[in-house]
Amino acid sequence: MINWTTIKKSIIGLAPMDGITDAAYRELIDKYSKPDVLFTEFVAVEGITHGVTSLFKCFLRHKTETPIIAQLFGSDLKAFYKATFIAAELGFDGIDINMGCPDNNIMKKGGGGALIGKPDHAKNIIKTVKEAVNDWYEGKSMEDAQVAPKIIEWIKSIASPSFSKRNKLPVTVKTRTGLDYSVTEFWISQLLEASPEAITLHGRTLLQMYKGLADWVEIEKASKLVRQTSTIFLGNGDVKTMAQAKKRIEEYDLDGILVGRGTLGNPWFFSDKVPTLKERFAAMVEHSDLYLKYRPELKLYPMRKHLAWYCTGFEGSRAVRDRLMKVVTIEDLKSILSSLQT
């Protein structure tokens, strides 16, 4: 369990990213540079509680002392309640609620960033997750929570005995500054009424998606509000180096920073190490091996984006990326990399 009130301040962690921060990515980054905290991809509560088996893979995890937070998104309160039990039983160190995803399909169903326009429902979700955490901590079972039997069976098949201790997990929120325009002070003040243990604010509106620059003035506004409470506050957006992360923590009076896209192709990010090209090539193979360890039924198609991110900044990198976009198996990858080093 992560204790946001006692964890060392100047927290610098890995932000949740859909389709990216899977078990393999988290394990590799944890091995090479040890961020203070790791987040899963976001997982649909309605899907996981209805037994959509493909979503179970998002909750696979490696053994580590680094806290791993399960991020959930959705709208249905009953599904949030059950999904909290699932994440708790799997040994995650906290529950983070996604209230900032700009994906239209998610927003149409009332989840992610759509909750910015529904502050009362957003607060009810936080309260529901807190209630579930408390009920689980006090001994309520998955059966009591009406989790489906096939899901309980799956959880028991993979859960480590070391995860059996029940801790009162922190409930946190990751969000954005607004829908079409920033409403930071109003929105953050609404969230604070539900007293989440921590809030992470990405300095963009939903309309911006990932375009333009993150607005750190809005993050500073939120920081001043949160400072009046016991909630921990983290910023997020356009952080490209550890030095920049540390500077922004100090400049904007933050408890910490979560870094997402700045880590792409760079599992060394949190250590400040500058890898050699040979080390990057080795990490590409290791990352791919880890991916297949967790997803042995798949080919390397989803890894191609990662391979491209590793493969930048050297002469002929574009031609190499073109070749990597055709990789299907680990043997394909090793063959291409071997030809580059001979």
Q: Are 213 and 177 in contact (CB under 8 A)?
A: no
306 falls within a domain = yes
Residue 328 has pLDDT above 70, yes or no: yes
**Domain holding 192: CATH number?**
3.20.20.70
Same domain, 221 and 319: no
C-alpha span between 221 and 118 (Å, rounded):
21
Q: Are 115 and 102 in contact (CB under 8 A)?
A: no
Same domain, 299 and 189: no
pLDDT in tens, 270-319: 998 999 999 999 999 999 999 999 999 999 999 999 999 999 988 999 99
Residue 28 has pLDDT above 80, yes or no: yes
Among candidate residues 237, 270, 303, the one where a domain is terminated = 270
Same domain, 158 and 97: yes
The predicted model gives 239-248 an average pLDDT of 96
Same domain, 254 and 281: no
1 falls within a domain = no
Same domain, 292 and 182: no
Looking at residue 4, what is its pLDDT?
66
5 falls within a domain = no
Looking at residue 11, what is its pLDDT?
95
Same domain, 235 and 124: yes
Q: Domain range holding 141?
A: 11-270
153 falls within a domain = yes
Among candidate residues 252, 270, 288, the one where a domain is terminated = 270
C-alpha span between 5 and 168 (Å, rounded):
13
Provide, rounded to the nearest whole percent, the portion of the chain with pLDDT above 70: 96
pLDDT in tens, 135-149: 999 999 999 999 999
Same domain, 266 and 311: no
Same domain, 90 and 190: yes
The predicted model gives 24-46 an average pLDDT of 96
Average pLDDT, the chain: 93
6 falls within a domain = no
Tokens 């991809």 sit at which residue? Answer: 41
Among candidate residues 244, 270, 296, the one where a domain is terminated = 270
Give me the number of domains the chain comprises. 2
4 falls within a domain = no
pLDDT in tens, 42-90: 999 999 999 887 888 889 999 999 999 999 999 999 999 999 999 999 9
- State which of 57-61, 95-99, 150-154 shows the largest mean pLDDT: 95-99
The answer to pTM > 0.85 is yes
C-alpha span between 59 and 89 (Å, rounded):
11
More confident residue, 3 or 103: 103
Looking at residue 342, what is its pLDDT?
57
pLDDT in tens, 182-223: 999 999 999 999 999 999 999 999 999 888 999 999 999 999
